[in-house]
Amino acid sequence: MPSASEMIVQTLEEAGIEYVFGIPGGGTGQIFQVLETKQDRIKTILVRHEQVAAIMADAYGRAAGKPAAIMGQGLFMGSNATFGIMEAMLSSSPMVVITDTSDGGAAQRPANQSGAGEYGSIDLQSIFKSMTKYTTLATSPKEAVLGMQMAIKHAVSGRPGPTTLLMRSAAINGQVDVESPPFIHNAAGFLNTVKPASAAVDIARAIQILNESRRPVIIAGNGVHVARAHAQLQELAEQWGMPVATSYKGKSAISEDHPLALGMVGTYGQETANKAVGDADTVLVIGALLRSQETVGERPDIFNPNRQRIIQIDIDERNAGWSFPVELGLIGDAKVIL
């Protein structure tokens, strides 16, 4: 029977993961050993601090639009790596964290550097749950493989973000029975899902609202970057002649020297952008949360749903109509909707 480490690396390969950043430690050392034989397919980059690994994976996720993995011993991943993991969570960067509890197969006994959550140890599962969109605890070798598949799936589905596969020592050290259910399927099949998009009737309503507007303006956020919707945003702006302001995380969603570019809106933004948004009768918000910084503390002369019609596009239905009531919330991938 194959080992859990071999099956985990096979899952990474099937899912198209190209990079692993990290430091061997705890039970993860044996996974690094398997990765050493796969350098032609999965590049392993060793670092000197877990924070560096997480920041590298966050940057890769933003630039490539797909996840890298970070790996190391549990307590150090749950402390040193948290800066990069939290940034990935707040910026919708896909990332997969692979780590262990280092419980030595007896979580109820005193253990050095244990993160099993039992008496005398750190509760790593709770730590990772607080900063990722999905965290699973594997207690058997097969759960380790299934958890690896689901961690990758959740990292890229819906709003992207970091996920964690946390493994007990018994899970990471054992062998996987591939002949009995639940069966292990190719990880690529779990990723063959299309991005969500609002119904045509709702998009038609948005078009009607824009047609009725005299001074529409766009606010482009990080969702444009995540969806790789830059060309679609520019085409929409040019077709309708709508000026485009950006949130802080949406900077460069449209070229800064484009004739319709207003610059950044908000407390630290350009006055021209704030005035244009304030003068607008319709505000089309694309992948921006409308945080207090972006609305100048909800200044009514800039944002006011009582005199402005707000259309908000977001891949997460909880985000549309979060800060302000909206005329219409379109739920789905920004590129697909635009």
**What is the tens place of the pLDDT at every residue in 231-240?**
999 999 999 9
Residue-wise pLDDT for 132-163, tens only, equals 999 999 999 999 999 999 999 999 999 999 99
Residue-wise pLDDT for 296-323, tens only, equals 999 999 999 999 999 999 999 999 999 9
* Tokens representing residue 60 in the block: 């890769």
Residue 23: partners with Cβ closer than 8 Å, 6 or more residues away: 46, 47, 48, 49, 50, 53, 72, 73, 76
Closest by CA position to 23, among listed 4, 50, 42, 52: 50
pLDDT of residue 197 exceeding 90? no
pLDDT category of residue 227 using cuts at 50, 70 and 90: very high
Report the distance separating Cα 10 and Cα 310, nearest Å. 46
Q: Which pLDDT belongs to residue 109?
A: 85
Give the end-to-end CA distance of the chain in Å, rounded to a whole number: 49
- Say which amino acid occupies 92: S
Average pLDDT value for the chain:
95
Q: Which position has the higher pLDDT, 139 or 197?
A: 139
Residue-wise pLDDT for 54-69, tens only, equals 999 999 999 999 999 9
Domains and CATH numbers, the chain: 4-191 (3.40.50.970), 200-337 (3.40.50.1220)
Collapse the DSSP code of 43 into the 3-class scheme (helix H, G, I; strand E, B; otherwise coil) and give the result. Answer: strand
Q: Which pLDDT belongs to residue 113?
A: 87
Percent of the chain with pLDDT over 70: 100
The dihedrals phi and psi of 164, each to the nearest 5 degrees, come to -135, 135
